Amino acid sequence: MDYYGNQITKLIEELSKLPGIGSKSAGRLAFHIINMPKEQVEALSGAIVSAKNNVRYCSECFTLTDNEFCPICASEKRNHKVIMVVENSRDLAAYEKTGKFDGVYHVLHGAISPLLGIGPADIKLKELMVRLEKDVDEVIIATNSSLEGETTAMYISKLIKPTGIKVTRIASGVPVGGDIEYVDEVTLLRALEGRIEL
């Protein structure tokens, strides 16, 4: 049943298509937008259209940017000899928030998943191998600890090892604040294998 009229209903429908936004959240957002000053609504819609038209992949690492090179790849302060391989741009942002990694990234835009029909040619692996023809000392594989992430990590490792470039995998284990009794066996084993001296 249409309670509000075509315009509001259409706005709610479009907002509910966004990931993580159900019909109730879409309704709240729609009414918030309607009650915003016209200039703010125009700025929001303009930012959405501008981002859609101007955002593209970085020519080097394939993260999202509005320039040929993202700020990380363009920075001379970064160590371009160490490349961290991540599944998506959100993972890159998570590592950047730590403020502790001074290398550069390579965004795969997915992970190998035979069940979903995603093979090595469907992610940015060829582009990674091209980058490794330059002066690279280490590749850190930071894919997720899922079956797909592990499969991707193993595949990348097998591709890179013959080149003589050092290949490492991020450690995984018990999360901070987590109770050991609730952690699965694979995670506990990883935590044990990746232990460090105090």
Asked whether residue 133 is domain-assigned, the answer is: yes
More confident residue, 122 or 198: 122
pLDDT at 2: 62
Mean pLDDT of all residues belonging to the chain: 89
| pLDDT for 70 beyond 70 | yes
Could you list the residue range(s) of the whole structural domain that residue 120 is in?
A: 79-192
pLDDT at 197: 64
| pLDDT for 145 beyond 60 | yes
Tell me the CATH number at 186: 3.40.1360.10
Asked whether residue 8 is domain-assigned, the answer is: no
HEC secondary structure over the chain: CCCCCHHHHHHHHHHHCCCCCCHHHHHHHHHHHHHCCHHHHHHHHHHHHHHHHHCEECCCCCCEECCCCCHHHHCCCCEEEEEEEECCHHHHHHHHHHCCCCEEEEECCCCCEHHHCECHHHCCHHHHHHHCCCCCCEEEECCCCCHHHHHHHHHHHHHHHHHCCEEEECCCCCCCCCCHHHCCHHHHHHHHHCCCCC
Residue 6: band (very low, low, confident or very high) from pLDDT cuts 50, 70, 90? confident
Asked whether residue 10 is domain-assigned, the answer is: no
How many domains, the chain? Answer: 1
Asked whether residue 183 is domain-assigned, the answer is: yes
Asked whether residue 11 is domain-assigned, the answer is: no
Asked whether residue 23 is domain-assigned, the answer is: no
pLDDT at 103: 95
Asked whether residue 67 is domain-assigned, the answer is: no
Residue 196: band (very low, low, confident or very high) from pLDDT cuts 50, 70, 90? low
